[in-house]
Amino acid sequence: MTSPILEIRGLKVHFTTDDGIVQAVDGIDLTIGRGETVGVIGESGCGKTVTAMAVLKLIAMPPGSLIWPLSAIMNSMLFARKRSRLSFKSR
């Protein structure tokens, strides 16, 4: 496998509610290498969206580790920018 562009180790996301603690994600490990395509599938409510939100830091940083090598992030951003160039024409 190529060097990973994302590593997740022991990711846990728990929410405190009036009814107690909800363990939305409890100990995910995942490694994604350059050029790999990954699909996350599962039943409704199993933590797919919460995992994605944690990786994107859209929720408070949960326990566990997310490793994003800086070079991989920069290369991904440059690639996305090159692919998303838009041209506008006035009528």
Whole-angstrom distance, CA of residue 3 vs CA of residue 63: 24
Percent of the chain surpassing pLDDT 70: 64
Whole-angstrom distance, CA of residue 24 vs CA of residue 12: 8
- DSSP 8-state secondary structure symbol assigned to residue 88: -
Please give the pLDDT value at position 86. Answer: 47
Domain boundaries, the chain: 4-83
Q: Which amino acid appears at position 12 of this protein?
A: K
Please give the pLDDT value at position 5. Answer: 84
Q: Which residue has tokens 């992030």?
A: 73
Q: Is 70 helix (H, G, I), strand (E, B) or coil?
A: helix
Please give the pLDDT value at position 84. Answer: 47
Whole-angstrom distance, CA of residue 3 vs CA of residue 31: 10
Quick check: 87 pLDDT over 70?
A: no
Quick check: 88 pLDDT over 50?
A: no
With CA atoms as reference, report the closest residue to 54 among 18, 14, 90: 14
Q: What is the pTM of this model?
A: 0.64
